[in-house]
Amino acid sequence: SQWGEENLQALSIQEGEDVTMNCSYKTYTTVVHWYRQDSGRGPALIILIRSNEREKRSGRLRATLDTSSQSSSLSITAAQCEDTAVYFCATGNYKYVFGAGTRLKVIA
Amino acid sequence: NAGVIQTPRHKVTGKGQEATLWCEPISGHSAVFWYRQTIVQGLEFLTYFRNQAPIDDSGMPKERFSAQMPNQSHSTLKIQSTQPQDSAVYLCASSPQENQDTQYFGPGTRLLVL
């Protein structure tokens, strides 16, 4: 597997909490994409981070990339119910390799 | 911008029948990708076209699966003699020339083979 995590992870948090999801990858990449997928829909890109960036922010989202440990993380600050989704990381420039994903549930 | 369009959204076929899935990429995008999503395997790359030319089909099962892109406005994924293990969500994505490493996904076609 391209990724260290083999199985879909599940997280359940309260609204307003912060949450961090992690991915580790096995082969070299110049970019990590983070997607969210809502039930019945295709993945939607929410943030991407390149190998020359250690951190990237977009609204309440923060992505990090550590090329030395081949790992990336996605943090959501003050999670809201509408953040409930499955979150995937993916590497590759065209032939994406997706991680198993994290099913996040935010409870009011 | 309607995004990537996939039809049908749901398809049920009997074992041994043929299934054709359609994808309309975002207008102006130069690349089209097909992926398959299952609970067990997750999201897997199948094949990729750039400017209508097939570039990489390394993820396609060697038998029964084929993909085409006859013009810049649509691509098809055909599965011959469908089997129950072909049941999955088939996702199409496209990317623009100026940002080739960012893919925009359609809603997918949920295929069920009985």
pLDDT digits (tens, 9 = 90+) for A18-27: 999 999 888 7
pLDDT at A1: 41
pLDDT at B13: 97
Strand ranges in chain A using DSSP code E only, listed in sequence order = 9-14, 19-24, 31-37, 44-50, 55-58, 61-66, 71-76, 85-91, 97-98, 102-107
Alpha carbon separation from A66 to A31, A52, A83 (Å, rounded)? 11, 10, 25
Is residue A84 predicted with pLDDT exceeding 60? yes
Is the minimum CB–CB distance between A93 and chain B shorter than 8 Å?
A: yes
pLDDT at B1: 67
* Chain B hits for A89, Cβ within 8 Å: none
Query: What domains appear along chain A, each with residue ranges and CATH number?
Result: 9-107 (2.60.40.10)
Map out the domains of chain B as residue ranges. 5-113
Span B5-113: which CATH code?
Answer: 2.60.40.10
**Mutate which: A27, A96, A97, vs B, most B CBs within 10 A:** A96
From the list A30, A96, A100, the residue with the least C-alpha distance to B56 is: A96
* Chain A hits for B46, Cβ within 8 Å: none
User: How many CB atoms are closer than 10 A to CB B18?
Assistant: 11
